[in-house]
Amino acid sequence: MAFIHTIETLVPKHCYSQAEAEEAMMRFTRDTKAHRYIGAIYKESGILKRYSVVPNFNAIGDTSFFPKWDNGLPSEPSTGARNDIFIREAEPLAVDVARAAVDGCRGIESADITHLITVSCTGFYNPGLDIAIMRALNLRGTVWRYHLGFMGCYGAFPAMSMAAQFCAADSSARVLVVCVELCSLHLQISSEMDVLVANAVFADGAAAAIISAVPPVSPAFFELGAIANVLVPNSEGEMAWRIGDNGFSILLSKYVPRIIGANIRPVIASALGVDWHGVESVDTWAVHPGGKSILDKVEESLGLVSSQIAASREVLRQYGNMSSATILFVLKEILERQSDSEREEVCALAFGPGLTVACGMLTARRER
């Protein structure tokens, strides 16, 4: 048995309303047909605002993230230039959210951490985030370090599964999980539908959790149950992630919500096996808000009432899609909201390249 003692989240200081983001993309994209799509995508996104480490999307001239050529057309930073920003900006976010998790965890201190798992698919360098966290928090030099990279939006699930397995193997394990995603660094100028949709939903954020086999002394925490993932048959081409010359490019088929909706029931049952007791056994659903249409399809296909998926919609509304960090935002939202129940059964879901569906059963426990 393993427990999530605490979850902390953090976003960069630069905030853009969805209306501001739409206006910027209209300005960057000169294709009038694309303008019609942009208007519809942004207005139907279910997003109010998003956060970014980039302070100058709306700037004019050389200070902009997209400076203009002499002919007036915007240019795009190279993948190397984008990754340089990741190196500069991801580190303080990772350190601050990790420190907040340790400081907010009753009964566990920095010296107790035995394992550190970092997760990101939006930038790479080495020595990396793990070393920065080790030094800033003064963790022991013997801490085991693991990095899960380029897994996309479901990356927090294998991290939680690894943590639970470490705890099962060693009851003294204290695992710090840190997800940092700077998706806005890969904003691109294109009239391709995949790019337009990605530009409209992805954002930056970081989250950290502490997991151990020792029952928490916190007034609210999660007990981790089964965590699994499964590939949806015949769907490998529907969601993909590539490294290009101008950032990381995502392939996000318009059929993804439909595929998820059509397969979600059998996929969950297949992944969780004997640990799955049916939709009726779940009180609340922590669904990765990859987009409004995905949440709509999951809600419709599982026959949920709106309150069961409300936390996911609220995170989408306030933050957008922050890739792997997002599910921890949703779980934190669920854990911190007021409830009369001491025990709440939660099923968490996320989707990634493959098409991969990751799922996990958690029990939220609260003091009365």
Report how far residue 7's alpha carbon sits from residue 224's, in angstroms, rounded to the nearest whole number. Answer: 13
DSSP 235: -
3-state SS class at 178: strand
Cis status, amide bond into 127, omega within 30 of 0: yes
Question: What Rg value do the Cα atoms of the chain yield, rounded?
Answer: 20
Q: What is the 3-state secondary structure (H, E, C) of 24-35?
A: HHHHHCCCHHHH
Q: Is 153 a catalytic residue?
A: yes
82 neighbors 247 (Cβ within 8 angstroms): yes
The contacts of residue 277 (CB under 8 Å, 6+ apart) are: none
The contacts of residue 303 (CB under 8 Å, 6+ apart) are: 279
What DSSP line would sit under 46-85, residue for residue?
--SEEEES-S-TT--GGGSSSPBPTTS-B----HHHHHHH
Phi-psi region of 221 (alpha: psi -120 to 50; beta: other; left: phi over 0): beta
Report how far residue 255's alpha carbon sits from residue 142's, in angstroms, rounded to the nearest whole number. Answer: 46
Token code pair at residue 62: 């050389």
- The residues that bridge with 147 in the sheet, in sequence order, are 118
Report how far residue 278's alpha carbon sits from residue 276's, in angstroms, rounded to the nearest whole number. Answer: 6
344: nearest Cα among 365, 367, 359, 328: 365
Residue with tokens 């550190």: 116
- The residues that bridge with 176 in the sheet, in sequence order, are 116, 210
List the catalytic residue out of 105, 153, 179, 359: 153
- The residues that bridge with 350 in the sheet, in sequence order, are 358
289 neighbors 321 (Cβ within 8 angstroms): yes
Active-site annotation, residues = 153
